C-alpha cells in the first residue's frame, strides 16, 4: 500500500474568502450573466485606489539603477541597515525601547509571519485565538496543532473587550496554551484595546505565555489612548508584535510585513523560514513607505472622514454598527434576517432607509465597505 504523502491536517487550512472566490469563478464560467463583487478590506488597489506615487518612483528607480543590487540576495535575516532603521522607527513611539535591528523580522506580508510563527511552536503547544477573529490565524494554528482551534470570547456588549474570565478558564482548561493572540484593532469588529487595557491583559498572563499582537490596522487608529504594542514588545520577553504594509501603505502586492519582539523569538523564526528572506525590493519599498509621512496622514485623514460617514449612514438605515477604528465596519443584522449573503437584500428592500451614495466613487472613497453600495 502506498504511504500517505500529505500532512493529514491540510483540511484544516481553510480561508473563507479564498473558497468564495473559487466558487464564484466556477459559477461565472457556467453563467456569463453572473456578476461577482469582491469586497476585501486588505487590498484597496483592487478597487481603484492609487498606489502612492512615491512608491512607484522608488520601485522604478531601484529597478532602473545602474547596478543590479536589488536583484541579488539580501541578508538571510533581512538587510541589516533596513532592520535597524525599522527598529529606530519603532523607537520613536517607545523612546525607552531596548530593541534594535536584531529584534526585527521581515516577512512576506503579515500572512508570511502567521505561516512561520505557528510552525515554530513545539509539538502540542497552542495559541488561543480571539472569537471573532481572523480565520487565517485560527486555521493555520489548527493545522500546526493538528486539532481544532481554541478560542476566547470577545464581549459584543462591552466594546468587544476580551472576556477575561473566559480567557482564564481556557488557560486553566488547556495547560498546553503557550500563547495568546490579540488582534488590535480587531478584525472583523474594528474594536481596540487601549494602552492600559493591553498592559492589564499582559500583566494577568503567566510568565511562560507569549502575547502575540497582530496590529495590521494600527496605522488607521487615531485614538490617543491606543498603542500598537511596541511598548510591551520593548519591555517584555513574552510579547511579539506584527505589522504589515498591505493596508494603509497600499503595498499588498509587494508582500512585505515585519515583526518586532524578543531576540530569541526572532532567531527561531529566522531559522524556521529557511536561508532566504524577502526581496530587497520589498524591504526598501517598505522603508520608503514608513518615511513618507505626508501620504500617511493624507490616508489617515481620508479614512477617518469616510469611516464616520459610512457609520452614520448605516445607522440611519436602522442597523447597529459598532464603533470602528479600522478601515471597515461591522454591521449587525436583526435576528432572523438570514445569512450574510442576504445582507444587501435586507438593506435595499426591507430596512428603514435606502443608501444613496453622494460620492461619485464611494467604494474608492471608503476603501472597502463590506456590502455593495448601489444607487436605487
Same domain, 268 and 300: no
Report which of residues 268 and 39 the model is more confident about.
268
Same domain, 180 and 262: yes
Between strands 104-107 and 210-214, the pairing is unpaired
Same domain, 212 and 238: yes
Confidence at 367, pLDDT banded by 50, 70, 90: very low
Last residue of a domain, one of 267, 291, 315: 291
Nearest to 77 by CA among 104, 53, 95: 104
Provide the pLDDT for residue 361: 33
pLDDT of 198 above 50: yes
Residue at 34 is within a domain: no
Percentage of the chain with pLDDT > 90?
25
Indicate which CATH number applies to the domain containing 283: 3.40.640.10
Provide the pLDDT for residue 358: 38
Same domain, 199 and 160: yes
Same domain, 227 and 257: yes
pLDDT of 273 above 50: yes
Same domain, 187 and 327: no
Residue at 32 is within a domain: no
Provide the pLDDT for residue 176: 94
In Å, how far are 25, 31, 46, 105, 112 from 22, measured between CA atoms? 5, 14, 17, 32, 22
Q: 57: exposed, middle or buried (C-beta count within 10 Å: 0-12, 13-18, 19+)?
A: exposed
Last residue of a domain, one of 247, 269, 291: 291
Residue at 2 is within a domain: no
Beta carbons within 8 Å of 175's beta carbon, 6+ residues apart: none
Nearest to 247 by CA among 236, 255, 238: 255
Return mean pLDDT, the chain.
Answer: 80
Report which of residues 43 and 117 the model is more confident about.
117
Distance (Å, whole) CA 322 – CA 324: 6
Provide the pLDDT for residue 311: 92
Percentage of the chain with pLDDT > 70?
83
pLDDT of 278 above 80: yes
SS3 sequence of the chain: CCCCCCCCCHHHCCCHHHHHHHHHHHHHHHCCCCCCCCCCCCCHHHHCCCCCHHHHHHHHHHHHCCCCHHHCCCCCCCCHHHHHHHHHHHHCCCCCCCCCHHHEEEECHHHHHHHHHHHCCCCCCEEEEEECCCHHHHHHHHHHHCCCCCEEEEECCCCCEECHHHHHHHHHHCCCEEEEEEECCCCCCCCCCCHHHHHHHHHCCCCCCEEEEECCCHHHCCCCCCCCCHHHHHHCCCEEEEEECCCCCCCHHHCCEEEECCHHHHHHHHHHHCCCCCCHHHHHHHHHHHHCHHHHHHHHHHHHHHHHHHHHHHHHCCCEECCCCCCCCCEECCCCCCCHHHHHHHHHHHCCCCCCCCCCCHHHHCCCCCCCCCCC
C-beta of residue 86 within 8 angstroms of C-beta of residue 258 = yes
Provide the pLDDT for residue 220: 93
- Cell numbers placing 28: 461565472
Number of domains in the chain: 2
Residue at 89 is within a domain: yes
Provide the pLDDT for residue 295: 80
Same domain, 96 and 152: yes
Between strands 151-155 and 161-162, the pairing is antiparallel
What pLDDT digit, counting tens, does each position of 23-81 carry? 888 888 888 888 776 666 566 666 666 666 777 887 888 788 888 878 888 888 888 88
Residue at 197 is within a domain: yes
Residue at 19 is within a domain: no
Last residue of a domain, one of 268, 291, 314: 291
What pLDDT digit, counting tens, does each position of 316-364 carry? 888 888 999 998 888 887 766 555 445 555 544 544 433 333 333 333 3
Same domain, 255 and 362: no
Residue at 48 is within a domain: no
Report which of residues 46 and 163 the model is more confident about.
163
Same domain, 310 and 257: no
Residue ranges making up the domain that contains 167: 53-291
Residue at 111 is within a domain: yes
Same domain, 77 and 131: yes
Provide the pLDDT for residue 38: 65
Q: Which sign, positive or negative, has the C-alpha torsion 266, 267, 273, 276?
A: positive
Least confident stretch, 94-98, 108-112, 224-228? 94-98
Q: Say how far residue 94 (Cα) sits from the centre of its chain.
A: 22
Same domain, 127 and 195: yes
Same domain, 62 and 154: yes
Provide the pLDDT for residue 45: 66
Provide the pLDDT for residue 369: 38
Nearest to 220 by CA among 197, 200, 250, 181: 250
Beta carbons within 8 Å of 337's beta carbon, 6+ residues apart: 343, 346, 350
Amino acid at each position: 500500500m502506498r504511504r500517505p504523502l500529505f500532512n493529514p491536517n491540510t483540511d484544516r487550512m481553510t480561508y473563507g474568502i479564498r473558497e468564495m472566490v473559487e466558487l464564484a469563478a466556477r459559477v461565472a464560467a457556467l453563467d456569463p450573466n453572473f456578476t461577482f463583487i469582491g469586497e476585501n478590506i486588505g487590498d484597496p488597489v483592487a478597487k481603484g485606489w492609487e498606489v502612492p506615487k512615491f512608491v512607484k518612483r522608488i520601485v522604478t528607480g531601484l529597478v532602473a539603477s545602474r547596478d543590479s543590487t536589488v536583484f541579488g540576495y539580501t541578508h538571510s535575516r533581512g538587510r541589516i541597515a533596513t532592520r535597524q532603521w525599522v527598529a529606530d522607527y519603532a523607537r520613536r513611539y517607545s523612546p525607552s525601547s531596548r530593541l534594535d535591528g536584531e529584534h526585527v523580522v521581515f516577512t512576506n506580508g503579515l500572512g508570511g509571519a502567521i505561516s512561520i510563527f505557528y510552525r515554530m511552536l513545539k509539538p502540542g503547544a497552542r495559541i488561543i485565538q480571539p472569537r471573532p477573529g481572523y480565520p487565517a490565524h485560527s486555521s493555520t494554528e489548527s493545522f500546526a496543532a493538528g486539532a481544532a482551534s481554541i478560542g476566547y470570547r470577545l464581549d459584543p456588549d462591552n466594546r468587544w473587550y476580551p472576556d477575561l474570565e473566559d480567557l482564564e478558564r481556557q488557560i486553566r482548561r488547556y495547560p498546553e496554551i503557550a500563547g495568546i493572540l490579540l488582534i488590535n484593532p480587531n478584525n472583523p469588529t474594528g474594536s481596540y484595546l487601549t494602552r492600559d487595557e493591553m498592559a492589564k491583559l499582559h500583566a494577568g498572563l503567566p510568565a511562560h505565555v507569549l502575547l502575540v499582537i497582530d496590529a495590521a490596522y494600527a496605522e488607521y487608529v487615531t485614538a490617543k489612548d491606543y498603542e500598537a504594542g511596541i511598548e510591551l514588545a520593548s519591555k517584555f520577553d513574552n510579547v511579539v508584535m506584527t505589522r504589515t504594509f498591505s493596508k494603509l501603505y497600499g503595498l499588498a502586492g509587494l508582500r512585505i510585513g515585519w515583526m518586532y519582539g524578543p531576540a530569541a523569538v526572532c532567531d527561531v523564526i529566522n531559522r524556521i523560514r529557511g536561508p532566504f528572506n524577502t526581496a530587497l525590493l520589498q524591504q526598501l519599498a517598505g522603508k520608503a513607505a514608513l518615511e513618507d509621512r505626508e501620504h500617511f496622514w493624507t490616508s489617515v485623514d481620508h479614512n477617518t472622514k469616510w469611516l464616520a460617514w459610512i457609520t452614520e449612514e448605516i445607522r440611519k438605515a436602522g442597523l447597529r454598527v459598532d464603533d470602528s477604528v479600522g478601515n471597515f465596519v461591522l454591521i449587525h443584522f436583526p435576528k432572523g434576517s438570514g445569512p450574510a449573503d442576504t445582507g444587501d437584500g435586507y438593506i435595499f428592500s426591507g430596512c428603514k432607509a435606502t443608501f444613496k451614495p453622494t460620492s461619485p466613487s464611494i467604494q474608492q472613497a471608503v476603501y472597502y465597505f463590506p456590502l455593495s453600495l448601489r444607487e436605487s
